[in-house]
Structure 1
Amino acid sequence: MEEVMSALRKIQNELDDQKKMIIKNGEDVTTNITKNINMILEEKFQVWEEKHNCLKEVVENQEKRIYFLEKLARQRNIVFFGLHETESSYSDLENIIINFIDKHFCIKLEKRDIQALTRLGKKGKGIRPITVTFTTLGKKIEIFKQKAILKDTEFYIKEDYPKYVLEKRKELQEKVKIEKEKGNKAIVKYDKLIILENKSETSGSKKRMLSVSPESNLSNSHKQTDRRPQEKRNNKPKQTHSLPQRSSSISEAVLKPSMLNYLVNKNKNNLSNQKDNQEQNEI
């Protein structure tokens, strides 16, 4: 009986060991499976991330191109405000713009100078503005430079901006006010805020650098006062004591005969030498 019980206990222990092994193997299998799944997911995620970055870069480049093309397409545009809707056709609208520019800007246009024009917005909601596209940028600049002429009239002109640029410009106008309160000069150029340097401050700083200290001014003034009596003394007419000219004439008289005697003796010696040489040659 005891042998049967010991055998059963032995079997029970073996079953427990097997059970533990099965549980451990199961845990190892699950960890390995999860690791494999995570590795596969990470690899796929990296591939997706690379594709996403590539697509993001492509989208950014396309946005930049669209931004540039839209800016270029509107570069020759002017928006006219305040012109009443009396036209009945496209040709009438062209004539209205041509006559308006001739009247207010004294610039004569022809129909070939206008590439396209159209009214903006839905009809019936007030006076709709007119967007005009000119064939050349020079013609647009020539008109836009004279926009101040319309200051005291019901008409005015503006640049043609996209909707998102107009919203950005409104936001930047608030920043311009803040910069002006700080004392800075700021302007909005297209969709960017540009802060200008104050010329008065830069010129003031240069003047401060060039200004002379009061001590040096005082020293300079003292020097000038000290120089004045000396200048007065120097400016007095000098008394010239003329020496008798006989002394100089005597010296000249003494020098001239000695020089003449020297030259005469030298010539005599040269002649005697020449004669001696001739006699030797004849011999």
Structure 2
Amino acid sequence: MILRVTVCQLSLTILEYAEGQSNRSNVVLDGIGEEPGETWDQTEEKVKDILVDKLKLQRGIEIDRAHCTGKPAANNTSPRPIVLKLLRFKDRSAVLERAKNLRGTNIYINEDYTDVVRMKRKELLPKLWEARERGEIAFLRHDKLIIRPPEHSRA
């Protein structure tokens, strides 16, 4: 019985790792308006325009796929997130680096995490906020919370 439980846990760990690797070159875009009946090609063109116009990236970034996730809301008040699968990890890094150019807009770019990692990050948020209130430098890196003392107190 113990062996069966261990094998199941190991299988879940391997599946989580595989899912994380398949999401490795993905980013998620939030806040991009969506037209009723919009096709994947139209979504991809819209994303390409944002990459060039707002992020100041070149057209050389190759997109494997860009599609909305989930079902559209009945009242259509908030646009669905767009999963952007890029062909190269370097392109993903470039997109995430330039995401700061979107400040002041309602468009956000984030990494595409697995459901398990998203849950862990959500659980860590209260601790992150507490650390920041204490004046510490706190941030999330993947599914880990990093807390450092304030810069001015370093020796």
Do they superpose with TM above 0.5? yes
Q: Which has the larger radius of gyration?
A: 1
Query: Is the 1:119–1:131 Cα contact (8 Å) retained in structure 2?
Result: yes
Alpha-carbon deviation of 1:115? 1.4
C-alpha separation between the residues in 2 aligned to 1:180 and 1:93? 37
What residue ranges of structure 2 are gaps of 5+ in the alignment? Answer: none
Number of positions where the alignment pairs a residue of Structure 1 with one of Structure 2: 151
Aligned to 1:113: 62
The 3 A distance-change label for structure 1 pair 182 and 100 is closer
Normalised by the size of structure 2, how large is the TM-score? 0.85
Aligned to 1:102: 52
Q: Percent sequence identity over matched residues?
A: 23
Query: Is the 1:79–1:157 Cα contact (8 Å) retained in structure 2?
Result: yes
1:170 aligns with 2:147: no
CA RMSD of aligned residues (A): 2.0
Letter in 2 for 1:132: L
Query: Matched residue of 2:70: which SS?
Result: coil
C-alpha separation between the residues in 1 aligned to 2:130 and 2:40? 45
Query: Is the 2:44–2:67 Cα contact (8 Å) retained in structure 1?
Result: no
Alpha-carbon deviation of 1:152? 0.6
Larger displacement relative to structure 2 (187-196 or 136-145): 187-196
C-alpha separation between the residues in 1 aligned to 2:117 and 2:30? 19
Q: Where does 1:40-51 land on structure 2 (aligned, <5 Å)?
A: none
Alpha-carbon deviation of 1:178? 2.3
Indicate the structure whose relative CO is greater, using CA pairs within 8 Å and at least 6 residues apart. Answer: 2
1:64 aligns with 2:16: no
- 1:128 pairs, out of 64, 74, 80, with 80
Deviation per CA, 1:37-64: give whole Å up to 9, x if none: xxxxxxxxxxxxxxx1211221222122
Query: Matched residue of 1:118: which SS?
Result: strand
Deviation per CA, 1:205-264: give whole Å up to 9, x if none: xxxxxxxxxxxxxxxxxxxxxxxxxxxxxxxxxxxxxxxxxxxxxxxxxxxxxxxxxxxx
Normalised by the size of structure 1, how large is the TM-score? 0.49
| Moved segments of 4+, more than 6 Å | none
Query: Matched residue of 1:146: which SS?
Result: helix
C-alpha separation between the residues in 1 aligned to 2:104 and 2:132? 26
What residue ranges of structure 1 are gaps of 5+ in the alignment? Answer: 1-51, 204-283
Aligned to 2:43: 93
Aligned to 1:185: 137
1:151 aligns with 2:103: yes
C-alpha separation between the residues in 2 aligned to 1:159 and 1:145? 11
